[in-house]
Homo-oligomer: A and B are copies of this chain.
Amino acid sequence: MTVTDTSAYETLRSKLREAAVFASVTSVLSWDQETYMPAGGGEARAEQMAAMAGLVHERKTASELADLIAQAADEVGSDDVAAVNVARMQRDFDRETKLPSKLVANIARTSSIAQDAWKAARASNDFAAFKPHLEKMLELTRQKAECWGTPDDGELYDALLDEYEPNARATEIEAVFGPLGNQLSELVAELMDAPNPPSLEPFKRPVAISAQAELGRHVLSAFGFDLNTGRLDVTAHPFCQDVGPGDTRLTTRYTEAGVGDALFSTMHEGGHGLYEQNLPKAERFGEPLGQSISLGIHESQSRFWENIVGRSAEFWRWLTPTVKDLFGDGYAHTTADELYRAANVVERSYIRVESDEATYNLHVMLRFELERALVSGELSVADLPGAWNERFERLLGVPVPDDARGCLQDVHWSFGLIGYFPTYTLGNLYAAQFTEAMEAELGQLGPRIERGEFGPIREWLTDNIYSQGRRYEAGELCERITGKALSDEPLMRYLRGKLRPVYGL
């Protein structure tokens, strides 16, 4: 390959960087909207967001890009890194140009109304009021999927999945989720009858929010999240928002009597943040090689730092002295073991976002099955509550009390996020499987974690995942790192290995 600065490839890179700069402006707007924007600024913000979205779409679908991509593909030939970069650019361009602007605008308008309707319906436990909106959103989402096209080896749902998890197939996911679901249901049933269940009480003592924030920052810094190129703020729903090279922002939420919630959210978003901070963005902003692979791989990082690190016995042995220092008298006699056990309570609850490591994936599988059936037409929106309640009881072993705590609990479907839910469980699966590979190389993580030695862990992740950008697809990356396709076994080994002893089994 001979690529000069005036090559089509370099021109293309700079055009994509330009589009990414405009997109990153939108990230500032959206972060600001959730954190500091005064309430009265909402209308003007919507106008700004719409204008910027139009501009970014225009830049990403400019017809000159088609020619540049074709020329760049010739130029880079089979040089593997650049060739992969161009192939991914082609993929993104195709997807972006396949959606008619009219449909995009229609989805934006309809989903904005559907979200409001969802909020009201959830508050009043009134599925019937939400039903027409969900029907409209489902129809528009199907139209979107049809624009992208059903893959030859797949189904219509895969076209949606592809947006969040490139080239994933529902059948492959089903093949892993199936056995995982059965084993998880069994494990949860076993834990519910166990002799020595842990208590959540150590996380329920009142602690000043300033002390909780200090603890969160302490943990983030120890993990290697750079607060000089990042922030931690407070929002109603925690998130990680990347704002461009050198600027990655996290949020969490504090309650005076719920120490665990804020800390685990902080570690979760911190995991996303570590991925973002260690992507090669300075040189490759806007290019596939500077971007994260998929939502599943992104989620594997948040789950790794939140759960595999943050809910381990060794983590709590490391952190407990700091907890005692910062949280004062209420924690004077608390042991690391009590906090570790509190971090691993398993409960049969109705709400996904409040659920634990063992039941969480059951909540996700339910949504995956149902949304797949909605897209294929096997399930109608009218039958959704019944189907939800029936399958929920089968998976979780308890009946659903009402739709507000059932099929109305999540915002996702109201704005057309279908194909998104499975990435949460994919994240858990990848995290466990990557951890086994990491331990095969670095040795057991426990002793390092207990000494607060997070550097080598983060470096391993940076080398193997973060620094690679979109060099590999999720499945490829998994094969490269672990030598195997994605499997339910590492996650089940991890959960059984930890939770059975915690419960005295």
Interface residues, chain A, with chain B CB atoms under 8 Å away: 18, 21-22, 24-25, 28-29, 32, 35-45, 47-48, 51-52, 55, 226-231, 233, 243-247, 249, 285
Contacts and interface: CB of A to CB of B under 8 A. Distances in A.
Given A18-B51, A231-B36, A42 B244 contact: no
The 5 closest A-B pairs by CB, nearest first: A40-B229, A41-B247, A44-B244, A40-B246, A44-B245
A231 B39 CA distance: 10
A362 to B, nearest CB: 38
A228 B28 contact: no
Contacts of A45: 244, 247
Contacts of A40: 226, 228-230, 246-247
Interface of A is mostly: helix
A36 B35 CA distance: 11
B38 A51 contact: no
17 contacts: A21-B47, A21-B48, A22-B52, A25-B29, A25-B52, A28-B29, A36-B36, A38-B229, A38-B246, A38-B249, A40-B230, A40-B247, A43-B246, A44-B247, A44-B285, A47-B244, A48-B244
A45 to B, nearest CB: 7
Nearest to A35: B36
A41 to B, nearest CB: 3
Given A21-B51, A44-B245, 20 more contacts: A21-B44, A25-B25, A25-B51, A25-B52, A36-B233, A37-B247, A38-B229, A38-B230, A38-B246, A39-B228, A40-B229, A40-B230, A40-B247, A41-B229, A41-B243, A41-B244, A41-B246, A45-B247, A47-B244, A48-B244
Contacts of A24: 44, 48
B48 A25 contact: yes
A258 to B, nearest CB: 25
A42 B21 CA distance: 13
Given A18-B51, A55-B55, A231-B38, A243 B25 contact: no
A227 to B, nearest CB: 7
A271 to B, nearest CB: 18
A273 to B, nearest CB: 11
A34 to B, nearest CB: 12
A245 to B, nearest CB: 5
Nearest to A233: B36
Contacts of A22: 51-52, 55
Contact of A246 (B42, B228, B244): B42
A18 B48 CA distance: 9
Contacts of A227: 38
Contact of A38 (B32, B38, B43, B228): B228
A210 to B, nearest CB: 12
Nearest to A18: B51
Contacts of A228: 38-40
A387 B337 CA distance: 75
A229 B41 CA distance: 6
A246 B44 contact: yes
Contacts of A37: 247
A341 B32 CA distance: 41
Nearest to A40: B229
A231 B244 CA distance: 25
Q: Which of A41, A231, A249 has the most CB of B within 10 A?
A: A41
A277 to B, nearest CB: 9
A45 B28 CA distance: 10
A38 B244 CA distance: 11
Contacts of A38: 227-231, 246-247, 249
A41 B243 CA distance: 8
Contacts of A243: 41, 44
Contacts of A48: 21, 24-25, 28, 244
